[in-house]
């Protein structure tokens, strides 16, 4: 493994940590705004940042803040995003290990 591979992997991991932090924070902010009766973050925005790689942060935010846990269309869509990401990770991992 050369330095550029290591740097590329580190950049990818850093980006994933960042998007998951943003997603987690968005769930917390949305919960706070919901409790205050203020403007909310659109569900589509929460789902888009989860789709961008933040699904672990979304699940953590749901659990910690108890937010969007019973909203059925949202939950089904988030589970679909996580399943798609898991499939992509499995396929990508297979390609990476194969060659």
pLDDT tens digits, 71-98: 789 999 999 999 999 999 888 876 666 6
Predicted pLDDT of residue 2: 62
Higher model confidence: residue 99 or residue 61?
61
pLDDT tens digits, 47-79: 999 999 999 999 999 999 988 878 789 999 999
Long-range Cβ pairs for the range 67-74 (8 Å, 24+):
67/27, 67/28, 67/30, 67/31, 67/34, 68/27, 68/30, 68/43, 71/43, 74/43, 74/46, 74/47
Nearest to 23 by CA among 53, 68, 67, 65: 53
Confidence tier at 34 by pLDDT (50, 70, 90):
very high
């Amino acid at each position: 493994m050369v330095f550029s591979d290591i740097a590329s992997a580190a950049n990818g991991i850093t980006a994933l940590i960042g998007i998951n932090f943003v997603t987690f924070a968005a769930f917390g902010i949305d919960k706070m705004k919901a409790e205050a009766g203020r403007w909310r973050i659109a569900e589509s925005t929460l789902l888009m940042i989860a789709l961008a790689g933040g699904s672990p942060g979304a699940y953590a935010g749901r659990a910690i803040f108890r937010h969007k846990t019973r909203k059925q269309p949202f939950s089904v869509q988030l589970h679909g995003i996580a399943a798609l990401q898991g499939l992509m990770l499995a396929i990508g991992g297979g390609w990476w290990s194969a060659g």
